[in-house]
Structure 1
Amino acid sequence: MKIVADANMPGLELFAAHGQVVPVDGRQMNPSTVADADVLLVRSVTRVNAELLADSPVRFVGSATIGTDHVDQQWLQETQRAFAHAPGCNARAVAEYVLQALLLVCQKQGRAASSLSIGVVGMGNVGRRVAQWMQALGMTVRACDPPLAEQGVDVGYRLESIDALLDCDVLTLHVPLTDTGPAATRHLLHHERLAAMGANRILINTCRGPVVDNRALESLLREGKGPASVLDVWEEEPHVPGDLLDRVMWGSPHIAGYSVQGKENGTRMVYDAFCKWRGIVAPEGQKATALGVLAQDVQDERDLLSLLQTAYRLPDDYSRLQESLNEENSAAAFDQLRKRYPLRQEMHRWLWQGSAAVPFRPILDALFAPG
């Protein structure tokens, strides 16, 4: 069995027992790459459709990501090709990113995050975890998810419209990128909605770049009328507009979910689906041991931010992204930032043994809970 895989996908040794694993740059995959492949493993940078696979013998496609907008699932189904992805694999990593981003912005603005309201747009695996953690921090949480509202799904919060949430102090986006239907998300935050948020609110986008109209956001920020923004995703990736990057408060190269555990979870979920497809039992994974002890006390939000930054520093990603725009080929530099991303561990990999003020105990319990 020949297994063609994105070289940026960790844990490919799991598949090596089942055939020849051929790692390939995800953006360079083309019909010749998969001409004699049986299995294709990708991440979000590879477009999986008839153009790529029509003449190939590929019968199983796995994407080690939560999003699926890069995959033509209908065509795969019509041509009897199996598909699996990894919903929720990096939910903890994204929640940690959002928490740190929020604390960084609030620290700059001299505000307490716990005193603010936050609108969580998209209540899937990631959105729900973000909502739970922000509530644990003490924030007032409101939620929006039109498809789940239509289905009558109970997510633990009253589901409101996106326009109703524009008066929240913070808006964080966790939706898939969709182009059709009444709940289409491309340019969900268009010029009018961004303008309605105004300069006193905070926007965090960690899902897909085109969910926010980047040109409209840049224009409003240039005029001092747009929300304080943290962008991990960009509308024209791997191209990042320098004018917008200069005006956001923090930015990063689509790595909010790039923890070691998030990537490992993604690969493992696809591997389990692959084994099920083959009709075999997947071996159990090894349990990870703690990395060590963290003894920092948490008495206020500044302490909480300091604790988070023992594992990961968003400002470092911002600096690297800014520097990448000085490269002759900034798009290639963007991809290299992702390909060579430093190992980033999630907080639950450590044992925390500090003391904490009562209001911070719920969020610390969430951060260090196993699993």
Structure 2
Amino acid sequence: MNRILMNLGFEAKYDAFEERLKAAGFQVVRTGERLPAQIIECGKGCQAAVINAEDQWTKETMEGLKDTLGLIARFGVGLDNVDLDAARGLGIKVANSAGANKESVAECAVTLMLECTRRISWLDGKLRDGQWKGLPRTHQFSGKTVGLIGFGAIAQCVAGMAKGFGCKVLACDVIKNETAAKRLDTVFCEMDELLEKSDFISLHVPLTEDTRHMVSEAFLKKMKPTAILINTSRGPVVDEKALYRALKEGWIQAAGLDVFEQEPPGGDNPLFGLHNIIVTPHAASSTEEAAGNIADLCMENICSYFETGIPKYFIK
């Protein structure tokens, strides 16, 4: 019987996926270990591993399991915790659930845009404190310009939603999907133009050495003073010290963050003391619908690997 390391922890929300694996004939070794040595100990004899975003799938981890491990299947999309070069060198296939959570993350990004501009939570707090009149006006989202950095599946969903509000959409990406851009009435432009013209800038890039701290002081100073930054991608894409200064000193109007440089962020994170930021706990894809889609694609990857040697959503 093929053994699968299910490295997703023991939360009840993953129980149904464990049962699906068992029903498909796999022996499941379930764990929540994060560090290489502990993962290796739990994963001995496993042919595949289902992983989360927090596990450290380093060269050390994979070398410790290389005698049997042939597949790493991400229960989700991001792969910045996986050493892809090491996996290739050891002949270990890596797959993810690409596109499974695109609508959920896009909804969160647009919700943060609306929250930052209409200030719903702030108004809720004011009303609960007894204030009814005399509150300042907010701004509408409709008709504004939304700039997307990265134009993959999630960003394309954001574009479609923003167009529903009558927004103009700009995009910047090293890969220009002209077909999708035409369908979504989105205009590609260079980064400086996007920063100069956008009322909202939404980040949709993977975490790489090129994108780490991409949102720097120089980046933020090129944005409009009335602009709003949204990040539902990866926390380290944003230099939080620079963002704090930008929000504190009024370089930009506001920010909405679902992700942070350190996760979970400390309670003493200075960003939490600002009035012009909305934060959520890396929950953009945490919907029942996204989880169901991810589970389906993850099962497809595993079954395809054991049937053909190649997972369905193979990262080459």
Could you tell me whether the CA contact under 8 Å between 2:51 and 2:74 is conserved in 1?
yes
The one of 206, 209, 232 equivalent to 2:235 is 209
Instruction: Tell me what 2:131 maps to.
Output: none
Query: Counterpart of 1:123 in 2: which secondary structure?
Result: coil
Question: Aligned equivalents of 1:227 and 1:33: distance in 2?
Answer: 48
Partner of 1:242: 269
Per the alignment, residue 20 of structure 1 pairs with: 27
Structure 2 counterpart of 1:99, which letter?
V
1:166 aligns with 2:195: yes
Seq. identity, % = 27
**Match for 1:87 among 90, 93, 98?**
98
Does 1:33 pair with 2:42?
yes
Counterparts of 2:178 and 2:143 in 1: how far apart (Å)? 28
Indicate the SS of the match to 2:42: coil
- 1:46 matched to 2:74: no
**Equivalent residue in structure 2 for 1:155, among 161, 180, 189:** 180
Aligned mate of 1:176, from 189, 197, 206: 206
Q: TM-score, normalised to structure 1's length?
A: 0.69
Give the equivalent residue in structure 2 for 1:200. Answer: 226
- Whether the 8 Å CA contact 1:3–1:38 is kept in 2: the answer is yes
Counterpart of 2:157 (choices 129, 134, 140) is 129
Q: Which residue of 1 aligns with 2:248?
A: 222
User: 1: distance between equivalents of 2:117 and 2:265?
Assistant: 28
One-letter amino acid of the counterpart of residue 26, structure 2 = G
TM-score by length of 2: 0.81
Alpha-carbon displacement from aligned partner over 1:284-332 (angstroms, at most 9, x marks no partner): xxxxxxxxxxxxxxxxxxxxxxxxxxxxxxxxxxxxxxxxxxxxxxxxx
Question: Does the aligned pair in 2 maintain the 1:197–1:227 contact within 8 Å?
Answer: no
Q: Unaligned 5+ residue runs, structure 2?
A: 120-136, 309-316
Aligned to 2:3: 2
Measure the CA separation in 1 of the matches of 2:89 and 2:19. Answer: 30
- Give the secondary-structure state (helix, strand or coil) at the position aligned to 1:22: strand
1-side partners of 2:148 and 2:224: how far apart? 18
**Aligned residue pairs, count:** 273
Amino acid at match of 2:44: A
3-state SS in 2 of match to 1:92: helix
Match 1:107 to one of 118, 140, 155: 118
- Per-residue deviation, 1:121: 1.1
**Are 1:276 and 2:294 counterparts?**
no
Residues 199 and 228 of structure 1 are in contact (CA less than 8 Å); yes or no, is this contact kept in structure 2? no
SS in 1 for 2:41: coil
**1:66 corresponds to 2:77:** yes
Separation in 1 of the partners of 2:89 and 2:178? 29
Cα offsets for 1:251-270 (capped at 9, x unmatched): 01111111111122112112
Give the Cα separation in 2 of the matches to 1:128 and 1:75.
31
Gap runs ≥5 in structure 1: 281-371
Residue pair 2:172, 2:189 contacting (<8 A) in 1 also: yes
CA RMSD in angstroms, aligned pairs only: 1.9
Q: Letter of the aligned partner of 2:233 in structure 1?
A: C
Q: 1:26 to 1:229 in 2, by over 3 A?
A: farther
Pair 1:188–1:155, CA change in 2 (3 A): farther
Shift of 1:206: 0.2
Q: Secondary structure of the equivalent of 2:205? A: coil
- Report if aligned partners of 1:12, 1:267 keep a CA contact under 8 Å in 2: no
Measured after TM superposition, the shift of residue 26 of structure 1 is: 5.1
Aligned to 1:140: 168
Runs of 4+ in 1 over 6 A off after TM superposition: none
CA contact (8 A) 1:199 1:224 kept: yes
The one-letter amino acid of 1:260's match is E
> For residues 201-239 of structure 1, what are the alpha-carbon distances to aligned partners after superposition, in whole Å with 9 as ceiling and x for unaligned?
111100000111111111222223334000000012223
CA contact (8 A) 1:232 1:252 kept: yes
Cα offsets for 1:171-210 (capped at 9, x unmatched) = 011111111xxxx211111111112225411111000001
